[in-house]
């Protein structure tokens, strides 16, 4: 192999190496751009999820509201039963000829 052949082979392999480096750099740049796009989409999705969480917080409190309403309903029913029993007892013990309606 003479100097010209060696120089041509070296030039060819440097060119092949440069092409490989350029392809790898192009792929890395494409990966970087895609990763940044994914990061942007993830940030927007996280912001949307946080907004949904804030806007639907009242729905999660409905369980407590329903529990409180059920407790109030049960107490009102108990008061109603006791009031009915008291009114019936007063009606039974009222003197004849008097009216206890108001």
Using one digit for the tens of pLDDT, what is the confidence trace for 55-64? Answer: 988 888 888 8
- The model's pLDDT over 78-94, given as tens digits with 9 standing for 90+, comes to 999 999 999 999 988 87
Paired tokens of 58: 């009242």
Residue 20's pLDDT is what?
Answer: 98
Distance (Å, rounded) from C-alpha 53 to C-alpha 61?
12
Cα–Cα–Cα angle for 58, 62, 64, nearest 5°?
115
């Amino acid at each position: 192999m003479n100097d010209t052949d060696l120089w041509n082979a070296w030039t060819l392999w440097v060119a092949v190496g440069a092409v490989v480096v350029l392809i790898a750099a192009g792929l890395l740049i494409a990966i970087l751009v895609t990763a940044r796009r994914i990061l942007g989409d993830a940030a927007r999705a996280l912001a949307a999820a946080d907004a949904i969480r804030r806007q639907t917080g009242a729905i999660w409190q409905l369980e407590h509201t329903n529990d409180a309403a059920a407790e109030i309903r049960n107490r009102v029913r108990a008061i109603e039963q006791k009031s009915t029993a008291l009114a019936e007892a007063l009606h039974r013990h009222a003197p004849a000829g008097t009216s206890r309606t108001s």
